[in-house]
Each structure stands twice: as structure tokens, then as C-alpha cells.
Structure 1
Amino acid sequence: MATETKPGTGTDTDTHAGGEAGAREAAGPPGRRRRRRLSPWVEYPLLAVVALVLAFLIKTFLVQAFLIPSGSMQNTLQKDDRVLVDKLTPWFGSEPDRGEVVVFKDPADWLAGHPVTPPTTVQKALGFVGLMPAAGEQHLIKRVIGVAGDTVECEGTGPLKLNGRPLDEPYVYAGNTPCSDDEGGRFKVTVPAGHLWVMGDHRQASQDSRYHQDDGRGGMVPLTDVVGRAVVVAWPLPNWSTLPVPDTFDAQD
């Protein structure tokens, strides 16, 4: 006996079921809502702000770029080199050690009388967030020769003595003598606690600790003025190099 089927019943049922399934698949699992995408006019400025904040935090707490303004550290550093300075390790109690190249704030008007080119507005902005070397700031870069308790001395043209031992200084600029036979170049000092004695590698072209012994601190640099250790010459690319501690200082430990 034939079964009676109402016209349109099977077709309507199949279509209705398929339609519900398709709707559920398109909508995804129950409870999940489609994430709304930000307008490009909102998203791009937001990403730019996040990038600037990250750059500022990196510059403040991790690494900062500095421009070398003179030849006082030749041939280790050339004028207009860009160096990257490690600012992180001092946060963990690390202090500068002998032989390191450090950047520090002008401790007692050492740069008085030296012309400083005023930075542009763009340089100020990019320097503030660390996207380019800080412009117009009163910083110096020298090599640490003596730390707290060390005795540093020069007589005649050298050699430079550290705690009574002559230093072999391969980093001194070719043609220079380790010491200078002039008023500032003859000295014997003991570094007090919390301070450093610093000198440039281009000995006859560096106004360093030797020539500021009448600054009220005896030419010493307070540890509180040290920004960090220069670790890499990052630019220009042909000058790229690391800045390790010379082996000559190993014998002092």
C-alpha cells in the first residue's frame, strides 16, 4: 500500500533543516561573538603611540644611543660614531669597572666653553624617545682607568701606572704618549669611594680627569653621574664593533 505524502512536506522539511545548520555554522559555536575591528584611523595612531612608548621605555631602562661629538676617544671611537649604551646592568647594582668605556653627565662644567649645536624640534622629539642619539645633552664619554681605592699616576710621558704597575695601553691613539709632560699630565691620585678616574684614548686631545683636578672633586666622576657602559659602535656600519675591556686590566683584579 502506498504511503501518502503531503505535497511539499519533504522538501520543506529538508530545506528548513539545512537552513538552520547553515546558519549555525556561519555564526560559529554558541556564545562566541565576532571581534570588531578598529578603524584604520584609530588603529594606526594607536600602534604609533604604543611603539613610541616602548621606544621610550627601552631608552630609559635598557639601551640608549649616543653620538660621539669629538675625537677624544680615537681610535677606539671616531667623531660622529653612534654608540649603544647599556643602562640595564646598573639597575642590578653593577658598577663601572676599569677599562670600560662609559657615558656620564658633565660632573662639574667640564664642557664649559665648548660650543653645543642647538638641536632641532625633530631631533629633540626623536632623541626623547630614543629613536636617535640624544641631541644637545651635556654628556661625555671616556675610559675608566681607576675605581674606588685605586692609585693612578703619571710622570713625564709615561707609562701610566695603576696601583704601582705600568699599564700596557694598546688603545692609546697612535703617536700619543700615555702621559703628558705638562701641568695636568703629571699627577698621582687615589680614587675615593663612589667615584671614577677617567681618561680619553686620544691622550693629547682629551680634556679628562687630568685637567679638571681643580673642579671641586679632584677630577673624579661620581658614580651617580654615570649613564651606562658603551658596548657597541652601531653606526656607521663600516665602524661597527664591540667595546670589550682590554686584557691589560685583568692583572689588576
Structure 2
Amino acid sequence: MTGQTVVILGATSAVAERYARLHAARGARLVLAGRDSRRLGSIATDLMARGAAGAEVAVMDLAAPAAGFDAAWADMAAKLGGRVDTALLAYGILGDQKAAEADTAEMARQLTTNMTSACAWLTVAANHLERQGQGTLIAIASVAGDRGRQSNYVYGAAKGGLALFAQGMAHRFAGTKVKVLTVKPGFIDTPMTDGLAKGGPLWATPEKVAADIDRAAAKGATTLYTPWFWMGIMMIIRNLPGAIFNRMKI
């Protein structure tokens, strides 16, 4: 893992920043993509202090890059000399379920950001890794995508679609040196979830999730629930009979 080249899409997210720090400590060269140039610059400086061999920024709206997905990816890869060992897709929005129910434009915005654009990035990144013959592609989805629920089914549908897309890619590259990992976190204490009541055993820190991702990727895993207990929780939720599930306010 020493000296790898890493692209992080959504590098200002709390989990992505902690994940980048793990690679920085190993002397990786990184490209950090996102919209907030000031925050990206601050993170890049911090990563260099932590041991990164290089940390460059790529400022863009990841949901709709002005140059297009292929050209934007090519520019980021070029910053790393054309070789990308690991790509992490970590951006997204929680969105407002009620707003999406009332406004089809808002619903489409949430789906575009969390799924359509994310799948476009996975496609250009996967094709790059295929051409070079190796690499790891990581997509952060969510346990919310395992079953549609009244409280967040627009977000859940987007993350569920993203997970299915990434899982299909993992199948596409089975038996090769290109690995695709789908990550399904539960509740994470980050700025993205500041609107939710926090606390309790179901909540994880960004550091915990980043470390779990790092270990799973190193093992060549294809699916990760993090923390681990969400696998059991979601197995129960997925298999609840409709008559019981429909009485639940979740």
C-alpha cells in the first residue's frame, strides 16, 4: 500500500478525509476532488504534513463537471502521472425527503447527485483501471438502499441503485486485478447528519468507517457493512413481511 496513487471524489466529506489520512501516512500521492477550493486546499496541506508524497486538488461540481466526466477524470489521472491505484467515491447529499416528494425537480436533483453522476464516475474510473490492468474502486453507498422506507426512500433509492451498479461492476471484474468495493455505512457522526438526533450504539465515527474501508479494500472484499452489525440489522429489515413492515414508522 506504500506510495500508492489515490483519487478521492468528494474529498471534503468527513469519511473521505479520514481515509485520505491513512494513505497520506503511507506516502501516497493523492488528488482531492470537490467543490470547496478553500477546504480542499486545507485538507491537501494537512495531508502533506501527515506524510503524503503529493496532494493536488481538482475543483468541480462532481454531480455535473463542466468538462464532462471523461475529460475531468483524465485530468485527475494526469496529475498522478496517468496511473490510479485506488479511487474512492465519497460524495453525496442526504436531501430532504418531503421536499423531494413535493417537487420533482428536487427529487431529480437528489437522484442525479447520489446515483446518476456517481455511476458515471464509476464508469470512467473502472474503464481506466481496466486499461491499466489493476486497481481498486470504492463506492460509498448506504444501508438506506437495502429497503425502501417512508422516511428516506428517495435517498435510499439512489444509494440502492448505486450499490447495485457497483456490485455489477464487481461481478464484471471478478477474477481480474480490478477490485470494486461497495460500502454500506449506517449512521455516521458527520456534518452531513447534523440534522438528525445523534448518539447511541448505532452511530459510528468517520475514523471507524474509514478504517473499515481501508481494511476491506486491502482484503479485496466486494461488500462492506460498517460497522459490522449493520449486516444483521439490514438482513432483518429486508426480510420483514410487508404486513409487519408497513406498520413501522421508519
TM-score interval, smaller chain:
under 0.3
Q: TM-score, normalised by structure 2?
A: 0.24
Q: Which has the higher strand share?
A: 1
Q: Which has the higher helix share?
A: 2
Q: Which structure has the larger Rg?
A: 1
